[in-house]
Amino acid sequence: MQASDLHATVLTDLIDRLLGPAGTGEALRAISDGCETARTAGLGQDAAAMARLDGVTAGLDPILRESALAYVSGDLRRYLHILDMLDNVLDLAPLDGINQIYWSMQRQLFLMRMDMGSVPDFVVERLFPFYERFLRQMAARLGLAPVGRKAGQPDTGRVVIVTNQFLSAEHQPSRDLLLLAVRLQRDLGRTVLVLNTNMMPDRYYSPFVPPFAAAVEDRLSGEQTIRCGGERIRMLSSTAPGVTADKLSGFLSAVAAFDPDLVIAFGGSVIVADLLESAHPVMCVPTTSGQIISLADIVLDFGGHAPPAGNGRLARSWRPSRFGLSLRRTGETATRAEFALQEAEFVCVVVGNRLDAETDGAFLCLLGRILDAIPQALVLFAGGVESLPGRLATDRHAGRLRSLGHVDRMEALMSVCDLFVNPRRTGGGAGAAQAMAGGVPVLSFDGGDVASVAGPSFLVADEAAFVARAVALADDPTLLADARQEARDRIATVEREGADNGQLFAYMAEAASLFAKRR
């Protein structure tokens, strides 16, 4: 089928979906599937097709329309239209709907689905100020007024860590949060309270596509004590859905009663932590290399990259230090037979929690070029998936593309792999770190968490270099052995940098000092 015929077919299907029902999660997911098909088919670069799509959808719900066209084209100017619309009704629109739209935008940015060149200053100049206005509106409408300690009173030695979503020890950011809490209590002598706020939407409140709902661990509700690293960590959770006065005022009251010296926002856009910035010093510890939004006094980096553009609040708060990733080191190994692998095979592995979205058509084509060039190669996919196995089954390399689903024995899996292959994405840093700790070299483009963790020696400039690097490693045992050792050395360096308690203490003290100057 020629490109023009394909575009016509895809466009017709997408229009039918957009003009059809959109009032349920199932309908929104069907529209999103059509948008994804159009995006991967290149419809966004077809000016005539986009003009027709623009015209026939003019009467649709503006949030549905603008988000769908943004999905297909990657054009952030569509998101500007949405932000302008929300600003006009910010005092009237349901808070849950605004929250849904904000996080859905953030997810598309995280998945690298948007063309940052279309609005280069989108995050710093538009999304961040909107986030500030949203929080002010939330505080005003829900009557939220955090209470801090009077100036001049002595420190209490207490720290609150706030996260949007704590899930389990299987969830890398949750595990890293516990590691931070342990370090604060065991090494720095602090008493820690963790707030698991579940402020990301857990259901659909808006017709934004693609719809986004975060996972919630229902058993983590109320007060718990978690044992980790020989420490007992106290945690308060609320699994109540939505943005409500009871939920937020409950968290603010708990913080006032605990009376911390410092609030740590674990991740970006941590709503409860940012609501507390008027009453307490706040430090933000990012969990990704993406552009972090935070009202904290100090915002750590994820890998020593350049600060946010300009001289605004985000740029002033940025500090070039990465908090360490928690790696599982059980020493467990495996034989290739345990994973149905042959000794002579060159085993590539792709690891992630979002492989359905990250393993798109373009990445499968790239993997196909590697498999064409290396007859003994195969690719494993490790991570929970739904749609990926079906797509792999219809690929021309179906027998050499194997989805393992969720893998508990990740360290054992890495012991039988030769190369960690990374799609274009923001996430994946924890998987890459685990691979490198096991002596598995990384193959990645620049940009994203994996590139930040792996460092320049494991990055390539384009697809031709991507394939050539894989071929070189498969063909030269000495080169592969050297790359394995370099991977181990690199991750050891990253771990040392992230485990610097002196640096962590210095940033905590600086955050307190900056707060004292601005209060």
pTM, 2 dp: 0.91
- Cα dihedral 69→70→73→74 (10° resolution): -170
Count of C-beta atoms within a 10 Å radius of residue 292:
25
Nearest to 80 by CA among 149, 147, 153, 129: 129
Q: How far apart are CA 98 and CA 100, in angstroms?
A: 5
Nearest to 321 by CA among 506, 55, 450: 506
Strands 231-237, 222-228: pairing is: antiparallel
**Phi, psi angle pair for 402, to nearest 5°:** -120, 125
Chain segment 45-103, per-residue pLDDT in tens: 999 999 999 999 999 999 999 999 999 999 999 999 999 999 999 999 999 999 999 99
- Write down the pLDDT at residue 173: 87
- Write down the pLDDT at residue 499: 85
381, two tokens: 């996919």
Helix or strand or coil: residue 284? strand
Residue 304 has pLDDT above 70, yes or no: no
Instruction: Report the percentage of the chain scoring pLDDT > 90.
Output: 80
Q: How far apart are CA 428 and CA 351, in angstroms?
A: 7
**Mean local confidence (pLDDT), 227-231:** 92
Residue 436 has pLDDT above 50, yes or no: yes
Quick one: 250 exposed, middle or buried, by C-beta within 10 A (0-12, 13-18, 19+)? Answer: middle
Chain segment 2-30, per-residue pLDDT in tens: 567 888 999 999 999 999 999 898 999 99
Residue 1 has pLDDT above 50, yes or no: no
Kind and range of the H or E run holding 480: helix 477-498
Please list, in sequence order, all residues whose beta carbon lies within 8 angstroms of the beta carbon of residue 37, skipping any fewer than 6 positions away: 10, 13, 14
Nearest to 96 by CA among 242, 272, 216: 242
- pLDDT band (50, 70, 90) for residue 497: confident
Residue 295 has pLDDT above 90, yes or no: yes
Q: How far apart are CA 397 and CA 389, in angstroms?
A: 13
Residue 305 has pLDDT above 70, yes or no: no
**Mean local confidence (pLDDT), 311-340:** 88
- pLDDT band (50, 70, 90) for residue 150: confident
Please list, in sequence order, all residues whose beta carbon lies within 8 angstroms of the beta carbon of residue 206, skipping any fewer than 6 positions away: 63, 97, 100, 101, 104
Query: Which residue in this structure is represented by tokens 């990259």?
Result: 305
Mean of pLDDT over the chain: 93
Q: How far apart are CA 100 and CA 81, in angstroms?
A: 16
Chain segment 99-118, per-residue pLDDT in tens: 999 999 999 999 889 999 99
What's the sign of the alpha-carbon dihedral 278, 233, 510, 320?
negative
What's the sign of the alpha-carbon dihedral 241, 29, 73, 19?
negative
